[in-house]
Structure 1
Amino acid sequence: MRVNLSVAIVAMTDKNTTSNPDIPTYDWDDKSVVLSSFFWGYVVLQVFAGQFGKMYGPRWFLVAAMLINAVVCMLTPLVADNLGSKGVMGCRVIQGLFQGFIFPSIHNLLGKWAPTPERSRIGTFVYSGSSFGTIVTMPITGLISASWAGWPVSFYVFGSLGLLWVVLWIFLGSDSPADHKSISEEERNYIEVSLGQQDKKVIPTPWKAIFTSLPMWAVIVGNFGQNWGYSTLLTEIPNYMNKIMNFDMKSVRGVVRKIFNTIGNLLCSLFVFTLICNVVGTCGPAVALIVLGFVPADQTTLSVILLIIAVGINAAVFCGFQVNHIDLAPNHAGTLMGLTNGPSNIFSIIAPLVVQVVVYDETEKPLWRIIFIIASCCYVSSAIFYIIFASGEIQYWNDDCSNNNNESDE
């Protein structure tokens, strides 16, 4: 539901995508603004989502977030037909607001469910679902949009899948092992003892310690660079390949990414590998993007190879800073995710808007080259900062700092 518009908007503004004359198309000159609008809402509630999930449990927040997203997704074709691009922007803002609950809620769940020895592997496996969703969504959206059914059906399909997930989560999900109805006593004890969560005490959030922690700032800066680069890849590459390379790339986009996720999932329990993955996952796409900007328009095969490298190898960050919050402070994982993922997505707003301003003619490759160089610089600079200051050790402020201070006073 988050990424299908990146492909669907090509069909929504191109009457030659499908042979069905009844499928509506629109003459929009603000496509990059439409793609950016999701992040207008996405950055707003993430810190609150992390805090609310820690205090009240993330289960029902996830239900509400996914339910609203699914409904709005299914309403998008109707809104586009009646309210145009501004109406679609409104839908995307609403989706962004409520999707802002998802990653912090998932981090809260991982902080309760992922045993310390398995934390990085489980976190990577969970977040690889985001990559898998992109892998599946983009080619399916392309196929549906090019078929007689047309682009509106893609919104109905993914919205319906979202509703199905809501039903399954209501019956199968729970906030913690202690709340789960069918978990074995042995497994529950193993998880809770490993994480030191035998009681249900809510630990106060140590805001000062968090904001003065260099390992935490390493994660924040890593998010900044990743979100600028990835939002460029996610929202603009389909349009670039359509306008510049005249090539349908949607079906090949995810192959290497899926392979890389699988290999990385086996190795990322080591923090040194976390650092390596972060470097590979950011600097790799940076190099590929720069080279892509200089590839001649007739070299479509080379362009696709570079695109696979850029998008595929970026999945390595799911073994890097993306799960580093749980290493630093599992008790505050959801809040940390909100603090890093929320503000950093301001760059996801800015990046498509920069494209809207810089690429005033979508058929001019030198203009796209500027966009790729900017994204590459963001990738590399954030990777350098992360390498210098990141840590894989649990921080002292993971536990109740007020108790520690009282004990030291005595």
Structure 2
Amino acid sequence: MEPQKSLLWHEKLAKCFSLPQRHIVALLFFTATFNTHTHIAMLSTTLPEMVTRSNITLKFNVTEICESFNTSLKPPIENPTLVYDYSEHIQGIILSSFYWGFVTTYVPGAFFNDELANKYIFGLAVLGSTICTLVIPCIIFLEHKNWRMLIALRVLAGLFEGIVFPAMDSMYQHWIPPTDRITLSVIRTSGGLSGTIFSFLLGGLLISATEIWSSVFYIFGSLGIAWFCFWQLLGYSRPKHNPFLTTAEKSYIENNLKNREKRSWKKIPWGKVSASVPFWMLILGEIGHNWGWYLMMTQLPRYLKTILNFTTKETAYCSALPFCFYWFWSGVFGHMFDLFLKTEYVSLTTLRKTFCVVGALGSGIFMLLVSYAACDGKAVVAWFTVAMSFMSAHSVGVKVTVHDLSPTYGGSLIELVDGFGNISGMMVPYFVGLIVNHQSIHEWRYVFWISFFAYATASFGFLIFGTAEVAPWDPLFK
């Protein structure tokens, strides 16, 4: 009779939840991704408000500086003790420092994702990043504007977040059956983009309302603490550990995952993979796409604020807008891709290459147009928005081709591709800080030309040497 009572207790407890437990886990993953991306993006929003422009020397003609530069535009933060004289070079290091830590733990974490797939490791990694976010204002105030401590905290936050994504991916494989994977994957992955949009939008509005940049860190940090509390109450590493799971849902998950093969990096033929030119083209394509992505994510608020002299509110809305279009067009391009594929008039490889080249060159060209639009704010925002819309074609181009190249090992190899792709996050802000010393349109034109060549190199490399055919080293090769 005792087992029957235990089962009855669990069934009654499970009825307290209107959603299936796997959906609750997917929502927790969504909010974890949302929170971690707000931590990543918030410094892009706050840094332009934290620094003074007194260090800028007008080296170029007045036509290279937008008209409102020398006007008495009222800054949102008027307290001189809350703004700092960080050079452009230092700002570039600050913005890139997060990715120093992120890449350091992400790539090894991808190798040991099953070992990291633990409720407490995952939760503490998110919490660690949250605490690093919360203490940034305190450390800066106590250390008298010491930018070195700010960089140290950002590196530490990156180290924590590099663990988050491999651990989450492995737990996801244990929780979500293939029948639910597409829908719940969309929910999970959309957390990153929505977190970036939310950070740009709410961050700017908070600074404008409170007239202090530290409010952004406190609000977003508090959201991370709240997430950690919910995760401790409702999150579990495996379905078998969850006491709220009904017998029916447990059977559904187990039956759909019973043939799941445990991923093992030891089974991958690394010698053949490392000698595979198409595989290296995927890494090159990811680095090229991420060059443009990180240029937008780390520099867009800065460009609007320092070049076009937008107000903080205008910067908030106009920074979020291109990413909203990226989100929308990702779905449109995905639907278009499926329609073209069903016609069977073009091969899978041709479609992947087409979307890759169109997305990369379209994004690169419209970024170039930004610098030639000079001080026309409406045109600049329009070109940035169109550039991000084209960039979203990457989601059906290079991004998923690793699964075509290796259906057997794709789930593991994509994490390696993503890890190398994040090198762009380390490089882009640093090089922008080196090039843009005087915040002139002339200097930014160099930045956008470099971005265009990064896109062109990556897309043409994939166009010439890439393929969506199954690789000879994959067991499913015929």
Q: TM-score under structure 2 normalisation? A: 0.73
**Residue of structure 2 in register with 1:376 after alignment:** 452
**Residue of structure 2 in register with 1:263 after alignment:** 332
Q: 3-state DSSP class of the match of 2:399?
A: helix
Distance change >3 Å, CA 249–CA 153, structure 1 → 2: closer
User: 1:386-405, CA deviations, whole angstroms, 9 ceiling, x for partnerless residues?
Assistant: 34454556667667x9xx9x
The residue correspondences of 1:73-152 to structure 2 (distance < 5 A) are 73-83=133-143, 84-109=146-171, 111-112=173-174, 123-148=185-210, 150-152=212-214
**Residue of structure 2 in register with 1:221 after alignment:** 284
Q: 3-state DSSP class of the match of 2:438?
A: coil
Distance change >3 Å, CA 350–CA 258, structure 1 → 2: closer
**Residue of structure 1 in register with 2:25 after alignment:** none
For residue 111 of structure 2, the aligned residue among 51, 69, 78 is: 51
**Residue of structure 1 in register with 2:231 after alignment:** 169
Offset at residue 358 of structure 1 (A): 1.5
Which AA in structure 2 matches 1:373?
W
The residue correspondences of 1:188-267 to structure 2 (distance < 5 A) are 188-189=253-254, 191-192=256-257, 196-197=259-260, 202=264, 204-206=266-268, 207-247=270-310, 248-252=314-318, 253=321, 254-264=323-333, 266=335
Offset at residue 218 of structure 1 (A): 2.8
**Residue of structure 1 in register with 2:360 after alignment:** 282
Q: Whole-Å Cα distance in 1 between the matches of residues 118 and 354 of structure 2?
A: 31
Q: TM-score under structure 1 normalisation? A: 0.84
Offset at residue 62 of structure 1 (A): 2.4
What's the % identity of the aligned pairs?
24
Q: Whole-Å Cα distance in 1 between the matches of residues 408 and 118 of structure 2?
A: 14
Q: Whole-Å Cα distance in 1 between the matches of residues 104 and 257 of structure 2?
A: 32
Q: Whole-Å Cα distance in 1 between the matches of residues 140 and 191 of structure 2?
A: 29
Q: Is the 8 A contact 1:106 1:334 kept in 2?
A: no
21-30 vs 68-77, greater mean Cα deviation: 21-30
For structure 1, the 5+ residue unaligned runs are: 405-410
User: 1:138-191, CA deviations, whole angstroms, 9 ceiling, x for partnerless residues?
Assistant: 011111112225210111111122222233334444455666662724532564
Distance change >3 Å, CA 66–CA 161, structure 1 → 2: same
152-161 vs 110-119, greater mean Cα deviation: 110-119
Distance change >3 Å, CA 316–CA 104, structure 1 → 2: farther
**Residue of structure 1 in register with 2:252 after alignment:** 187
Which AA in structure 1 matches 2:428?
A
Q: Whole-Å Cα distance in 1 between the matches of residues 299 and 40 of structure 2?
A: 14
Q: Which has the larger radius of gyration?
A: 2
Distance change >3 Å, CA 394–CA 33, structure 1 → 2: same
Distance change >3 Å, CA 200–CA 245, structure 1 → 2: closer
**Residue of structure 2 in register with 1:4 after alignment:** 42
214-223 vs 106-115, greater mean Cα deviation: 106-115
Distance change >3 Å, CA 106–CA 328, structure 1 → 2: farther
Q: Is the 8 A contact 1:226 1:282 kept in 2?
A: yes
Which AA in structure 2 matches 1:311?
M
User: 1:271-320, CA deviations, whole angstroms, 9 ceiling, x for partnerless residues?
Assistant: 566555434442222111111111131x2111110111223432333344
Which AA in structure 2 matches 1:155?
F
For structure 2, the 5+ residue unaligned runs are: 1-38, 54-73, 342-347
